[in-house]
Structure 1
């Protein structure tokens, strides 16, 4: 069965939240997103056939999820994260690194915006005062 997917823009370290939402939507569409928040079933000695099937399905879905996440990364990030064992571990590592960077970037942008507004208000006030002198 051949399925056509829209190629996601490669994640290069910027706009993590947007990329994460797109990847999550893709994984939900493939019905494999559960591996991101479900513990892996452990192999037991007296495992039933049903339990073996569940574990194997989880392992397959985990590999599919991890593969799609890695495929949607730039080559440089792929090289860094290809050794991660599970999709959940990859998801958590990316969140830890890039959510903090996104938050820092937003704080930086907001502080510059606030500074700009203050400068803008000062300019407006000075221009108003100059007009008043006429």
Structure 2
């Protein structure tokens, strides 16, 4: 039992506290945690019924007692994995399954709404000229990671093509070059290409400023 409690404490520290967001991810982590403790079965297996006519009555009682104990621990783990406000809302659910079902009924729908919002954000995202391309690329990567949290998968070639389309007007020539490549471009290769191009543009801009400065110095020397 001591080893089990130690394992429970160690694994529990790895869990995010559920505050109403990213339910699917939290639910999966919690289910893995409960399964590791061998108590997750109470979410699917019904409580063993009492039956005085059973010849193996003592065995039935032991199984029922074990289920009740595991259900209590399971319910406690789920509640303790929630924020204080949600704990207060759901603490009165009598079994782990009732608690689990209540959470699914509410937050699965909210996650569905979040998915629609995420797709809208992706479709409407456009890069701008007065901001680093790589900084904007990292913002896009965060959006893509959010898709993964919801198990929303997109083909990499479609993702790459979409990101190229999001490049700003100042990158129209580079965009055209990328689109005319015959071979498929991976997301990693696209990131490297954008990084190198941005570095080259920064260097060219510095050189141009130096040249302009030199011209001004020459003009001032001539006029004097």
Structure 1 residue 111 displacement after superposition: 1.8
CA contact (8 A) 2:18 2:26 kept: yes
Matching residue of 1:79 = 88
CA gap of 1:122–1:29, structure 2 versus 1, over 3 A, is: closer
Q: Which residue of 2 aligns with 1:15?
A: 22
Q: 1:122 and 1:98, CA in 2 relative to 1: closer, same or farther beyond 3 A?
A: closer
Post-superposition Cα deviations, 1:90-129, rounded to whole Å, max 9, x if no partner, equal 1111111111101101111102211336xx959857985x
Aligned length: 129
The one of 56, 64, 87 equivalent to 2:65 is 56
The structure-2 alpha-carbon separation of the partners of 1:112 and 1:27, relative to structure 1 and needing over 3 Å to count, comes to: same
* Paired residues for 1:12-51 under 5 Å: 12-47=19-54, 48-51=57-60
Q: 1:97 to 1:45 in 2, by over 3 A?
A: same
Is the deviation greater in 44-53 or in 80-89? 44-53
Structure 2 residue runs of 5 or longer lacking an equivalent are 127-162, 173-224
SS in 2 for 1:85: coil
For each residue in 1:56-84, what CA deviation from the matched residue of structure 2 results, as whole angstroms up to 9, or x when unmatched? 10000101100000011100000000000
C-alpha distance in structure 2 between counterparts of 1:10 and 1:68, whole Å: 11
Aligned residues: CA RMSD: 2.5
Which residue is 1:67 aligned to?
76
CA apart distance, 1:40: 1.2
SS of the aligned residue for 2:125 comes to helix
Quote the residue 2:152 is aligned against: none
**What is the deviation of 1:45?**
3.3
Structure 2 CA distance, aligned partners of 1:21 and 1:122?
A: 33
Measured in 2, the distance between the counterparts of 1:77 and 1:127 equals 48
* Structure 2 partner of 1:131: none
Output the TM-score relative to the length of structure 1: 0.83
Matched residue SS, 2:85: helix
Question: Aligned partners of 1:33, 1:85: CA distance in 2, in Å?
Answer: 16
Per-residue Cα deviation, 1:8-28 (whole angstroms, up to 9, x for no partner): 221100111111111111111
Q: Which runs of 5+ in 1 are unaligned?
A: 129-134
Task: Calculate the TM-score normalised by the size of structure 2.
Answer: 0.52
